[in-house]
Structure 1
Amino acid sequence: MTQASLHPMLNVAIKAARAAGAIINRASMDLDILKINTKAPNDFVTEVDQAAEEVIIETLLQAYPDHGILAEESGRTRGNKTSEFVWIIDPLDGTTNFIHGFPVYCVSIALAHRGVIQQAVVYDPTRNDLFYATKGRGAYLNDKRLRVSKRTRMSDALIGTGFPFRKGDNFKRYVKMFEEVMQQCAGLRRPGAAALDLCYVAAGYYDAFFETGLQPWDLAAGSLIVTEAGGLIGNFTGESDYLYQREVVAGGPKIYGQLVQILTPYTRVIKAEEETATAAAAKPAAKSAAEAVAEDAAPKKRAAVRIKKSDNGAPV
């Protein structure tokens, strides 16, 4: 797709991503003076994250002042909270890489309409690589059409992942997954920026990707880029409910199916159809897309969690 043929909303997102990328690139040349705050152990935010997010939001709202915003650093404080259009923004995915000078990080911007991702941009400022997609029109890297890998055997597959890093993450569960996948594939990689990982699946660099603990802004743009490149994305049981479930698997169709089979026993998605139906009946009929996105992104209090067990009966 040439720039002239891009959807107007995608063009605005690209403009915003490039503006944020310029801020990130300038800051990367002087990391010694960078101010870093800790949101939680091993979870960092810099003044660059905040400046990049600000320029993205300003660019988007200047073009579409009535749209909603869900951003990693500022949440829902900006934009129209009742709009059916919601921009989902990660201004700097891979902050830990960035502050160490490890050149794997990106800007991620997606537009959801009534909860469905319609436009997506992931920009890698260190390589000047622009991944983008419009729903129904394919996925691209710069001007090149993307297609997922055609590999069909897990033993040939290169698979991307992300390690848990927050206090309270289930490290033992992850190590079991890691061990099982590692023994069945050709190799595992962990560069450290999930939005780029999903783009690597779309480009065929990886045959598949899986991770736990991700937020909507980590996944929103990359998920559309994967599907528009012919890939599949879901939770560990292969269902499409992944954006707010904190577990995701993506890949070319054959490897995706095999990886889902491996990961299904490790799912933490809670099945509660009856509770969901009851809650839906009790809810007001109308809810804006912005409210739905923010509500789903908020931490949930859940009762009666079912722990999945492995074949030997031990909790996983």
Structure 2
Amino acid sequence: MEAKRKRDVAIAAAREAGALIRENAHRVKKVAFKTSESDLVTDIDKRSEEIIRRHILQSFPDHDILGEEGVEPGPAASSDALAEMRDAEHLWIVDPIDGTTNFVHGFPFFCVSIALAEMGEVTLGIVYDPMREEWFIAEKGKGATVNGERMRVSRDEKLSECLMSSGFPSESHKGAGLFALRPRVRNVRIAGSAALQLAHVAAGRVSGYWEWDVNAWDVAAGVLLVEEAGGRVTDTAGRPYDLSVSHILATNGHIHDKVADILAKAHKAPSNDCT
């Protein structure tokens, strides 16, 4: 019953935040910069996180929350915030709008991402796409669904048959993997929302996703979706995933080692932490 209560609270929080986001999707936003002109935050991001925090703390006042808008900008601050909370008994990991740049420009590929980690292990993941009204939900050991229907990762085994997804790395030299992998696969999509791209891996719409320089709130919920849909998630060097991983590879499992090998050969594999 407690697990159901946590799930219900997360769904209610995502639904209200998603309604706010959808209502403002095509309006002019108040935009501020974090670390650069491509690292954006809007008043809707902040209001969305306030909604989610209110829902969680009303039901679970003793739980911890790690939300993107509650952390100072920059990788060092993100790493420090996670290190302080990662082993909490109940840690909610929240991205109120994953894909803010898309949201600002009216490109309809963004979502609400809410995960619950208990003693460092993600046990609940919800990714809500408010523009398509798609609910991607996973609970540890119980599988993953999209709008109530069971999800499974793709069955693709040949790289030449795979549609992959990724994100542009913040440092140009980390783009070597993209140029190495692109000729080996059918194509690559870069859509601008880590959480939603992971959800699409879980739903079998793309065969894999990799990206450098992500934060826990970008991927925690999506990682559980992929794993519970039968996929595999590691860092880009193939080492096990945990909340500190900032260089991520998620696939249907069949192609995982092949992709990890290509990425490793393209450039020296980075370490699996945020430091």
Normalised by the size of structure 2, how large is the TM-score?
Answer: 0.90
1:20 to 17, 39, 52: 17
Residue of structure 1 equivalent to 2:217? 217
Q: Is the 8 A contact 1:199 1:222 kept in 2?
A: yes
Q: Is the 8 A contact 2:237 2:270 kept in 1?
A: no
Distance 1:256 1:8 in 2: 35
Task: Give the C-alpha shift of residue 193 in structure 1.
Answer: 0.3
> Residue type matched to 1:192 in 2?
G
TM-align CA RMSD: 2.0
Q: Is the 8 A contact 2:87 2:120 kept in 1?
A: no
Task: Give the C-alpha shift of residue 40 in structure 1.
Answer: 1.6
1:112 to 117, 122, 127: 117
Distance 2:25 2:237 in 1: 39
Residue of structure 2 equivalent to 1:313? none
Q: Is the 8 A contact 1:17 1:123 kept in 2?
A: yes
Residue of structure 1 equivalent to 2:270? 268
Which is further off, 239-248 or 150-159? 239-248
Distance 2:88 2:234 in 1: 26
Task: Give the C-alpha shift of residue 8 in structure 1.
Answer: 1.8
> Residue type matched to 2:12 in 1?
K
Distance 2:86 2:145 in 1: 31
Residue of structure 1 equivalent to 2:78? none
Report how many residues are paired.
Answer: 260
Task: Give the C-alpha shift of residue 241 in structure 1.
Answer: 3.4
Distance 2:174 2:239 in 1: 21
Q: Deviations over 1:215-237 (max 9, x none)?
A: 00001000000000000000112
Q: Deviations over 1:162-212 (max 9, x none)?
A: 012xxxx321331x2111100100000011100000000000000111100
Residue of structure 1 equivalent to 2:234? 234
Distance 2:89 2:243 in 1: 17
> Residue type matched to 2:228 in 1?
E
Q: Is the 8 A contact 2:233 2:241 kept in 1?
A: no
Q: Is the 8 A contact 1:69 1:86 kept in 2?
A: yes
2:59 to 46, 63, 74: 63
> Residue type matched to 2:23 in 1?
R
Aligned to 1:7, the other structure's residue is in SS state helix
Distance 2:180 2:86 in 1: 43
Within the alignment, does 1:84 sit opposite 2:94 as a pair? no
Q: How does 1:304-315 map to 2 (within 5 A)?
A: none
Q: Is the 8 A contact 2:231 2:251 kept in 1?
A: yes
Computing the radius of gyration over CA atoms, which structure comes out larger, 1 or 2? 1
1:150 to 155, 164, 167: 155
Residue of structure 2 equivalent to 1:172? 173
Task: Give the C-alpha shift of residue 81 in structure 1.
Answer: 9.9
2:30 to 31, 35, 38: 35
Residue of structure 1 equivalent to 2:252? 252
Distance 2:174 2:138 in 1: 34
Task: Give the C-alpha shift of residue 242 in structure 1.
Answer: 5.0
Task: Give the C-alpha shift of residue 82 in structure 1.
Answer: 8.7
Residue of structure 2 equivalent to 1:122? 127
1:93 to 62, 84, 98: 98
Residue of structure 1 equivalent to 2:137? 132
Q: Deviations over 1:244-281 (max 9, x none)?
A: 232000011111121111112431116xxxxxxxxxxx
Q: Is the 8 A contact 2:87 2:118 kept in 1?
A: no
Unmatched runs of 5 consecutive residues or more in structure 2: 72-80
Task: Give the C-alpha shift of residue 158 in structure 1.
Answer: 0.5
Within the alignment, does 1:10 sit opposite 2:7 as a pair? yes
Distance 2:26 2:231 in 1: 36
Normalised by the size of structure 1, how large is the TM-score?
Answer: 0.79
Aligned to 1:226, the other structure's residue is in SS state helix
